[in-house]
Amino acid sequence: MKEKAMQWVFLAAACISILAVALICFFLFANGVPAIQKIGIFQFLVGTKWKPSNELFGIFPMIVGSIYVTAGAIIIGVPMGILCATFLSHFCPGKLYKMIKPAIELLAGIPSIVYGFFGLVVLVPLMQNLFGGSGKGILTASVLLGVMILPTVIGVSEAAIRAVPDSYYEGALALGISHERSVFFTVLPAAKQGVFAGVILGIGRAIGETMAVIMVAGNQAILPTGLFSGVRTLTANIVMEMGYATDLHREALLGTAVVLFVFILIINLSFSFLKRRDI
């Protein structure tokens, strides 16, 4: 009897989380899609002018902004993350590992607003000194996001590398191949699917990041012209204007959220696809 009751509790808990996802989906699409239709899906997605006061709602600059900043984060964060994971799994002495591992886990736990603040007081002035200009823009946001995705990339990659059977490594060593080469040319390639999954999770994290990006990206709703040009991401667009937007403007922001949601959906689907192939 008691067990039966507990079963219902578990079922209810499971249902609530599913319900939450379903409700979010429903809310987003019910509110966002009509606006996209009103504006015209083409106008909305590839329009380059975002001027709510003139009833111009083109989010192309924000889509491009999100993609640029995420790509930048990948270019900076992924090689560093994979190398770090390789170091942790095959080169790091035990004592050092006990210090580095918790530090990386801590990195994952730092609130994004703190990252943003760090970016604002350290990275932005640094960029100003190095390259002139305002110091805010694609490069600064990419660097900051690159650091923010490190724990995700490192964690998943390290687990994948450690899951590679020792027999590959030993097989390579037995051919007279050095430790370094054995790790990089047999172990790492064998872990590539898991590593790739880590990269995709990192992309998801980068594209959804809001607070930290707002503080260092400049946020101009224009098509970026270079590495140092200010950029506004999809998330930034929503959070900056939601407070005062009304009517179509408000619905256009919800439409932006729909686009973002679709992006995240694609990323998560490809992640679970890769995961399945891994087994």
Chain residues that interact with other proteins, rule: CB under 8 A: 165, 167-168, 170-178, 181, 185-186, 189-190
With respect to other proteins, which residue has the nearer C-beta, 179 or 275? Answer: 179
Q: What is the DSSP string of 27-84?
A: HHHHHHHHHHHHH-HHHHHH---EEGGGTEE--HHHHHHHHHHHHHHHHHHHHHHHHH
CB of 83: closest distance to other proteins in angstroms? 20
Q: Which residues contact 10 (CB under 8 A, 6 or more apart)?
A: none
Nearer to other proteins, 98 or 181 (CB): 181
Q: Least CB distance from residue 90 to other proteins, whole Å?
A: 12
Is the Cα torsion angle 106, 107, 113, 119 positive or negative in sign? positive
Phi, psi at 231, each rounded to 5°? -145, 145
Smallest separation, CB 20 to other proteins (Å): 40
How far apart (Å, rounded) are the C-alpha atoms in residues 182 and 87? 13
CB of 175 to other proteins, least distance (A): 4
Considering beta carbons, is residue 190 or 223 the nearer one to other proteins? 190
The three-point CA angle 183-147-233 to 5° equals: 130
Nearer to other proteins (CB atom), residue 4 or residue 95: 95
Q: Least CB distance from residue 186 to other proteins, whole Å?
A: 5
Q: How far is the CB of 154 from other proteins (least distance, A)?
A: 23
> Is the Cβ of residue 178 or residue 225 nearer to other proteins in the bound state?
178
Nearest distance in Å: CB 279, other proteins: 14
Give the HSE-up count for residue 220: Cα atoms under 13 Å, Cβ half-sphere.
12
In the complex with other proteins, which residue's Cβ is closer, 76 or 191?
A: 191
Q: Which two tokens stand for residue 256?
A: 């932006």
Tokens standing for residue 170: 């030993």
Q: Which amino acid is at 245?
A: A
- Which of residues 177 and 264 has its CB atom nearest to other proteins in the complex? 177
DSSP 3-state of 176: coil
Q: Which amino acid, 9?
A: V
